[in-house]
Amino acid sequence: MITLLKSAKIIDPSSPFHNSVKDILISNGVITEISDTIDTEENYNTITLDNLHVSTGWFDTSVSFGEPGYEERETIENGLSVAAKSGFTRVAVNPNTQPITDSKSAVEYLIHKATNKAVTLHPIGALTQKCEGIEMAELYDMQQSGAIAFSDYKKPVENDNLLKIALLYAQNFDGLVLSFPKNKKIAGEGVAHEGVNATRLGLKGIPALAEEIQIARDLFLLEYTGGKLHIPTISTKKSVALIKAAKSKGLNVTCSTAVHNLLLTDEKLIGFDARVKVNPPLRTEEDRLALIEGVKNGTIDIITSDHNPIDIEEKKVEFSIAKDGTIGLETAFGALNSIFDLETIVTCLSTNPKSIFGIDNTSVTIDSKAELTLFTAESEIVFNENDILSTSKNSIFIGEKLKGKAYGIYANQQLILNT
């Protein structure tokens, strides 16, 4: 199939066509021509969209689907469709399934389920067996089968020595270790950020200290062991400062933050809507602004939707017992586009995630493999339940104003549009 993208503004700092409006011709999955005007021929699939922008394909490094075990939340097939229509050409899938992705066969199952899809699925293997934090999982075998990193999703590694050994062991095959930043003893039974709003509402608080003390420990261990450490979904001002200082010392540490922590604060707790119950929790305006500055100055490398479908039975209950998590693929770009310029968004959704997780970056240039995200930066909507593509409806952004939207993707020789 030959695809012609008409009048597309290219957002790709690595491309000689960056910030220019061009026609893009794709044949057999390869960009064959980029010109001011390319004549349409009968056998072309010509795509003309309002205010079309094109960048290298986006990669979400923290996505949860239900399958296997929780298919009622989201199947792999529907999840990949949601990702494509939300502009993501790749997703890293967390090991919070049943059974947990802690073996070679579990990794291969996920990859097999995503065969021949437009979106490439990259499994994240469990760091410890059954994500129980006791015995290290089969890291090398999982990597050989296709796992791109190792994490006990949303579960901190409480055993200091276990994390130390994992960081040392993973260096033998250039493995990437993820450590969720939460000290469970300090966090206790908290369900929201420890602050004025939680106190006013009578909710048990999770201190910012619970995150920061864990990050400090992880950085001390990394300094001792060497290796590569990624700290996912940081949420506080001091966490940004700790990681910035570690980078200045030359430690090989990277981090991400979630879209919702960049947009929303614990003011959303008012009303006890369990859709706003996430982990880490929504923090203060001071924390939110520090996260935004961390993205802008490069301390925070990656932005993730932290997409986590939860069925209604576990969300429409009392706030304190509701399950943590929000879906986020559909709203990621529209939310980020309200606070960042397009180059920053593409860097944090595409260039940096691929580099950190060991995936080759492509470029929007002639003779390059076509792995592209198609989007508009102009339209504005108030997001509502009818806009949700996921099976689960637990979106933290319902009722929020979003700017711009993803049209879809071209990847793996497939064009998927959400129009």
Give the pLDDT band (50/70/90) at residue 38: very high
Same domain, yes or no: 225 and 339 = yes
Give the pLDDT band (50/70/90) at residue 48: very high
Same domain, yes or no: 124 and 29 = no
Same domain, yes or no: 117 and 265 = yes
Same domain, yes or no: 311 and 231 = yes
Question: What is the span of the domain harbouring residue 202?
Answer: 58-356
Q: Looking at the domain assignment, is residue 361 inside a domain?
A: no
Query: For residue 166, which phi and psi values (nearest 5 degrees)?
Result: -60, -45
pLDDT at 158: 96
Q: Looking at the domain assignment, is residue 307 inside a domain?
A: yes
pLDDT at 236: 98
For the chain, the residue count is: 419
Q: Looking at the domain assignment, is residue 103 inside a domain?
A: yes
Same domain, yes or no: 22 and 82 = no
305, 335, 356 - which closes a domain: 356
Q: Looking at the domain assignment, is residue 25 inside a domain?
A: yes
* Token representation of residue 194: 């420890």
Q: Report how far residue 236's alpha carbon sits from residue 102's, in angstroms, rounded to the nearest whole number.
A: 30
pLDDT > 90 in the chain, percent: 98
Q: What's the number of domains the chain is made of?
A: 2
pLDDT > 70 in the chain, percent: 100
Paired sense of beta strands 21-27 and 2-10, if any: antiparallel
* pLDDT digit string, tens, across residues 303-319: 999 999 999 999 999 99
Same domain, yes or no: 8 and 46 = yes
pLDDT at 265: 98
309, 333, 356 - which closes a domain: 356
Same domain, yes or no: 192 and 224 = yes
Q: Looking at the domain assignment, is residue 144 inside a domain?
A: yes
* pLDDT digit string, tens, across residues 233-271: 999 999 999 999 999 999 999 999 999 999 999 999 998
The yes-or-no answer on residue 36 being catalytic is no
Q: Looking at the domain assignment, is residue 304 inside a domain?
A: yes
Q: Looking at the domain assignment, is residue 283 inside a domain?
A: yes
356, 381, 401 - which closes a domain: 356
Q: Report how far residue 255's alpha carbon sits from residue 234's, in angstroms, rounded to the nearest whole number.
A: 7
DSSP character at residue 286: H
Same domain, yes or no: 206 and 120 = yes
pLDDT at 154: 97
Q: Report how far residue 252's alpha carbon sits from residue 103's, in angstroms, rounded to the nearest whole number.
A: 27
Helix (H) or strand (E) holding 140, with range, is helix 139-145
Q: What is the CATH number of the domain that holds 32?
A: 2.30.40.10
Same domain, yes or no: 226 and 325 = yes
* pLDDT digit string, tens, across residues 152-211: 999 999 999 999 999 999 999 999 999 999 999 999 999 999 999 999 999 999 999 999
Same domain, yes or no: 319 and 371 = no
pLDDT at 334: 97
Runs of H (alpha helix) within 283-374: 285-296, 332-336, 342-346, 352-356
Are 138 and 175 within 8 A, CB to CB? no
Q: What is the CATH number of the domain that holds 215?
A: 3.20.20.140
- Answer whether the bond into residue 68 is a cis peptide, omega within 30°: yes
Collapsed DSSP state (helix, strand, coil) of residue 18: coil
Same domain, yes or no: 166 and 307 = yes
Are 24 and 30 within 8 A, CB to CB? no
CA distances from 409 to 148, 163, 176, 256 (A): 22, 38, 27, 23
Helix (H) or strand (E) holding 404, with range, is strand 401-411
Q: Report how far residue 66's alpha carbon sits from residue 72's, in angstroms, rounded to the nearest whole number.
A: 7
Q: Looking at the domain assignment, is residue 97 inside a domain?
A: yes
Residue 169 burial (CB < 10 Å; 0-12/13-18/19+)?
Answer: middle
Taking 90 as the threshold, does the pLDDT of residue 7 lie above it? Answer: yes
Query: For residue 198, which phi and psi values (nearest 5 degrees)?
Result: -65, -40
pLDDT at 29: 96
Taking 90 as the threshold, does the pLDDT of residue 419 lie above it? Answer: no
Q: Report how far residue 58's alpha carbon sits from residue 84's, in angstroms, rounded to the nearest whole number.
A: 10
Are 201 and 195 within 8 A, CB to CB? no
* Token representation of residue 273: 């809507």
Q: Which of the following is catalytic: 60, 102, 306, 324?
A: 306
Residue 10 bridge partners (DSSP): 54
Return mean pLDDT, the chain. Answer: 97
Same domain, yes or no: 276 and 336 = yes
